[in-house]
A and B are shown apart, each in its own frame.
Chain A
Protein backbone atom coordinates (compact mmCIF):
# COMPACT_ATOMS: atom_id res chain seq x y z
CA UNK A 1 0.00 0.00 0.00
CA UNK A 2 1.50 3.32 -1.13
CA UNK A 3 2.16 6.04 1.43
CA UNK A 4 1.82 8.81 -1.17
CA UNK A 5 -1.75 9.48 -2.30
CA UNK A 6 -2.69 10.84 -5.72
CA UNK A 7 -6.09 11.31 -7.39
CA UNK A 8 -6.84 8.34 -9.67
CA UNK A 9 -7.60 10.56 -12.64
CA UNK A 10 -7.69 14.13 -13.91
CA UNK A 11 -8.80 15.42 -17.28
CA UNK A 12 -8.74 18.60 -19.32
CA UNK A 13 -9.27 19.98 -22.78
CA UNK A 14 -6.31 20.80 -25.02
CA UNK A 15 -4.71 24.05 -23.93
CA UNK A 16 -6.05 23.89 -20.41
CA UNK A 17 -4.11 23.63 -17.14
CA UNK A 18 -4.37 20.57 -14.92
CA UNK A 19 -2.78 19.83 -11.56
CA UNK A 20 -2.02 16.54 -9.81
CA UNK A 21 -1.63 16.41 -6.05
CA UNK A 22 0.61 14.08 -4.07
CA UNK A 23 -0.17 13.83 -0.37
CA UNK A 24 2.33 12.33 2.05
CA UNK A 25 3.13 12.55 5.74
CA UNK A 26 5.68 13.63 8.32
CA UNK A 27 7.96 10.68 7.51
CA UNK A 28 8.38 11.50 3.82
CA UNK A 29 7.41 14.79 2.15
CA UNK A 30 6.79 16.52 5.48
CA UNK A 31 10.22 15.45 6.73
CA UNK A 32 11.82 17.53 4.00
CA UNK A 33 12.60 14.83 1.47
CA UNK A 34 12.41 15.94 -2.15
CA UNK A 35 9.57 14.91 -4.43
CA UNK A 36 10.08 13.68 -7.98
CA UNK A 37 7.57 13.12 -10.77
CA UNK A 38 7.47 10.54 -13.58
CA UNK A 39 5.44 10.28 -16.78
CA UNK A 40 4.59 6.84 -18.13
CA UNK A 41 3.16 6.80 -21.65
CA UNK A 42 1.13 3.71 -22.58
CA UNK A 43 3.32 0.64 -23.04
CA UNK A 44 6.57 2.42 -22.20
CA UNK A 45 8.98 2.75 -19.28
CA UNK A 46 8.56 5.67 -16.87
CA UNK A 47 10.43 8.88 -17.62
CA UNK A 48 11.70 11.41 -15.08
CA UNK A 49 9.69 14.61 -15.49
CA UNK A 50 10.54 16.68 -12.39
CA UNK A 51 13.24 16.11 -9.77
CA UNK A 52 14.02 17.92 -6.54
CA UNK A 53 10.43 19.25 -6.27
CA UNK A 54 10.65 21.70 -9.16
CA UNK A 55 13.59 20.95 -11.46
CA UNK A 56 13.12 19.81 -15.04
CA UNK A 57 15.65 17.47 -16.69
CA UNK A 58 16.98 18.57 -20.04
CA UNK A 59 14.41 18.07 -22.79
CA UNK A 60 11.31 18.28 -20.59
CA UNK A 61 9.02 21.10 -21.80
CA UNK A 62 8.48 24.03 -19.44
CA UNK A 63 4.74 23.28 -19.61
CA UNK A 64 5.49 20.89 -16.75
CA UNK A 65 6.18 22.36 -13.31
CA UNK A 66 6.37 21.07 -9.77
CA UNK A 67 5.96 22.49 -6.30
CA UNK A 68 6.00 21.30 -2.71
CA UNK A 69 4.48 22.61 0.50
CA UNK A 70 4.24 20.94 3.89
CA UNK A 71 3.31 17.28 3.48
CA UNK A 72 2.15 17.64 -0.13
CA UNK A 73 3.44 18.28 -3.62
CA UNK A 74 1.85 19.15 -6.95
CA UNK A 75 2.56 18.70 -10.64
CA UNK A 76 1.05 21.25 -13.02
CA UNK A 77 0.68 20.82 -16.76
CA UNK A 78 -0.15 24.01 -18.64
CA UNK A 79 -1.18 24.17 -22.29
CA UNK A 80 -2.34 20.54 -22.17
CA UNK A 81 -1.55 18.56 -25.32
CA UNK A 82 -2.81 15.23 -26.65
CA UNK A 83 0.65 13.69 -26.15
CA UNK A 84 0.43 14.44 -22.40
CA UNK A 85 -2.15 11.68 -21.98
CA UNK A 86 -0.32 9.26 -19.69
CA UNK A 87 0.04 8.00 -16.14
CA UNK A 88 1.91 10.24 -13.71
CA UNK A 89 3.58 9.16 -10.47
CA UNK A 90 5.15 11.11 -7.62
CA UNK A 91 8.03 9.61 -5.63
CA UNK A 92 9.95 10.43 -2.48
CA UNK A 93 11.91 8.83 0.35
CA UNK A 94 10.27 7.62 3.54
CA UNK A 95 12.31 7.47 6.72
CA UNK A 96 9.98 5.23 8.71
CA UNK A 97 11.33 1.82 9.79
CA UNK A 98 14.51 1.11 7.82
CA UNK A 99 13.78 3.69 5.13
CA UNK A 100 12.58 3.17 1.61
CA UNK A 101 11.74 4.94 -1.62
CA UNK A 102 8.02 5.26 -2.15
CA UNK A 103 5.83 5.98 -5.18
CA UNK A 104 2.46 7.63 -5.30
CA UNK A 105 -0.66 5.72 -6.28
CA UNK A 106 -0.55 7.17 -9.79
CA UNK A 107 -2.83 9.51 -11.76
CA UNK A 108 -4.20 8.97 -15.24
CA UNK A 109 -4.34 12.20 -17.23
CA UNK A 110 -6.93 12.22 -20.01
CA UNK A 111 -6.99 14.88 -22.71
CA UNK A 112 -10.61 15.45 -23.71
Chain B
Protein backbone atom coordinates (compact mmCIF):
# COMPACT_ATOMS: atom_id res chain seq x y z
CA UNK B 1 0.00 0.00 0.00
CA UNK B 2 1.31 3.43 -0.95
CA UNK B 3 1.54 5.50 2.19
CA UNK B 4 2.97 8.74 3.58
CA UNK B 5 3.02 9.27 7.34
CA UNK B 6 3.97 12.65 8.81
CA UNK B 7 5.23 13.24 12.34
CA UNK B 8 6.91 15.92 14.44
CA UNK B 9 4.15 18.48 14.76
CA UNK B 10 3.15 20.13 18.01
CA UNK B 11 2.88 23.36 19.98
CA UNK B 12 5.92 25.64 19.74
CA UNK B 13 6.64 29.20 20.84
CA UNK B 14 7.24 31.96 18.28
CA UNK B 15 10.86 32.16 17.22
CA UNK B 16 11.58 28.50 18.07
CA UNK B 17 12.28 25.58 15.74
CA UNK B 18 10.57 22.33 14.81
CA UNK B 19 11.49 19.46 12.49
CA UNK B 20 8.83 17.54 10.59
CA UNK B 21 9.36 14.06 9.15
CA UNK B 22 7.52 12.05 6.54
CA UNK B 23 7.96 8.27 6.19
CA UNK B 24 7.17 6.85 2.75
CA UNK B 25 6.29 3.28 1.84
CA UNK B 26 4.78 1.29 -1.01
CA UNK B 27 6.61 3.02 -3.88
CA UNK B 28 10.17 3.64 -5.10
CA UNK B 29 10.86 6.74 -3.03
CA UNK B 30 14.02 7.85 -4.84
CA UNK B 31 12.25 8.01 -8.21
CA UNK B 32 10.01 10.91 -7.25
CA UNK B 33 10.10 14.49 -6.07
CA UNK B 34 8.44 15.26 -2.77
CA UNK B 35 6.67 18.26 -1.29
CA UNK B 36 5.36 19.91 1.85
CA UNK B 37 1.97 21.61 1.59
CA UNK B 38 0.21 23.35 4.46
CA UNK B 39 -3.32 24.39 5.30
CA UNK B 40 -4.07 26.94 8.00
CA UNK B 41 -7.27 26.30 9.98
CA UNK B 42 -10.28 27.05 7.79
CA UNK B 43 -8.08 28.22 4.91
CA UNK B 44 -6.92 26.93 1.53
CA UNK B 45 -3.89 24.94 0.47
CA UNK B 46 -0.44 26.56 0.33
CA UNK B 47 2.59 24.91 -1.25
CA UNK B 48 5.56 25.24 1.12
CA UNK B 49 8.52 23.48 -0.48
CA UNK B 50 9.54 20.80 -2.98
CA UNK B 51 12.65 18.69 -3.55
CA UNK B 52 13.63 16.70 -6.62
CA UNK B 53 14.30 12.96 -6.56
CA UNK B 54 18.05 13.39 -5.99
CA UNK B 55 17.92 16.61 -3.92
CA UNK B 56 19.53 18.42 -6.84
CA UNK B 57 16.72 20.96 -7.16
CA UNK B 58 14.79 22.57 -4.33
CA UNK B 59 12.09 25.23 -4.23
CA UNK B 60 10.43 27.26 -1.49
CA UNK B 61 7.43 29.52 -1.19
CA UNK B 62 8.40 33.13 -0.56
CA UNK B 63 6.64 32.98 2.81
CA UNK B 64 9.14 30.44 4.19
CA UNK B 65 12.30 31.13 2.19
CA UNK B 66 15.29 31.58 4.47
CA UNK B 67 13.51 30.04 7.48
CA UNK B 68 12.55 26.52 6.33
CA UNK B 69 14.82 23.83 4.89
CA UNK B 70 13.59 20.75 3.05
CA UNK B 71 15.70 17.60 2.81
CA UNK B 72 15.36 13.90 2.09
CA UNK B 73 17.15 10.67 2.90
CA UNK B 74 16.51 8.19 0.10
CA UNK B 75 18.17 5.38 2.05
CA UNK B 76 15.56 5.83 4.78
CA UNK B 77 12.61 6.64 2.46
CA UNK B 78 12.12 9.83 4.44
CA UNK B 79 11.39 13.50 3.82
CA UNK B 80 12.07 16.29 6.31
CA UNK B 81 11.20 19.93 6.91
CA UNK B 82 13.36 21.95 9.31
CA UNK B 83 11.37 24.98 10.40
CA UNK B 84 13.23 27.82 12.14
CA UNK B 85 12.13 31.25 13.38
CA UNK B 86 8.54 30.08 13.52
CA UNK B 87 5.76 32.65 13.42
CA UNK B 88 2.08 32.56 14.38
CA UNK B 89 1.19 32.58 10.68
CA UNK B 90 3.00 29.25 10.23
CA UNK B 91 0.24 27.58 12.27
CA UNK B 92 -1.24 24.95 9.96
CA UNK B 93 -1.72 21.31 9.14
CA UNK B 94 1.39 20.26 7.23
CA UNK B 95 0.97 17.61 4.54
CA UNK B 96 3.69 15.55 2.91
CA UNK B 97 2.93 14.84 -0.76
CA UNK B 98 4.54 12.79 -3.55
CA UNK B 99 5.05 14.32 -6.97
CA UNK B 100 3.92 12.51 -10.10
CA UNK B 101 7.44 12.90 -11.51
CA UNK B 102 11.05 13.33 -10.39
CA UNK B 103 11.09 17.12 -10.57
CA UNK B 104 9.14 19.27 -8.11
CA UNK B 105 6.92 21.18 -10.52
CA UNK B 106 4.05 18.87 -11.38
CA UNK B 107 1.09 17.19 -9.65
CA UNK B 108 0.86 15.77 -6.13
CA UNK B 109 -0.56 12.29 -6.51
CA UNK B 110 -0.20 10.87 -2.99
CA UNK B 111 -0.82 12.75 0.25
CA UNK B 112 -0.28 11.96 3.90
CA UNK B 113 -2.82 12.72 6.60
CA UNK B 114 -0.88 15.69 7.90
CA UNK B 115 0.75 16.81 11.15
CA UNK B 116 -0.46 19.90 13.00
CA UNK B 117 1.92 22.71 13.88
CA UNK B 118 0.72 25.39 16.29
CA UNK B 119 2.89 28.44 16.92
CA UNK B 120 1.79 30.26 20.04
CA UNK B 121 3.17 31.63 23.28
Chain A interface residues toward B at CB < 8 A: 2, 33-34, 36, 38, 40, 45-48, 51-52, 57, 87, 89, 91, 93, 97-106
Contact = CB atoms under 8 A, between A and B. Distances in A.
Given A45-B114, A99-B105, A103-B37, 6 more contacts: A36-B106, A38-B108, A46-B108, A48-B108, A51-B109, A101-B35
Interface in B89-115: 95, 100, 104-114
Nearest to B108: A48
Contacts of A51: 100, 106-107, 109
Given A46-B95, A99-B59, A57 B109 contact: yes
Given A51-B100, A100-B62, A101-B59, A91 B108 contact: yes
A50 B112 CA distance: 18
A91, A97, A101: which has the most chain B beta carbons within 10 Å?
Answer: A101
- What secondary structure prevails in chain A residues at the interface with B? strand
Most A C-beta atoms less than 10 A away, residue of B37, B50, B61, B108: B108
A102 B106 contact: no
Contacts of A2: 44
B47 A102 contact: yes
Interface in B31-75: 35, 37, 44-47, 50, 59-62
B107 A52 contact: yes
B59 A100 contact: yes
A47 B113 CA distance: 11
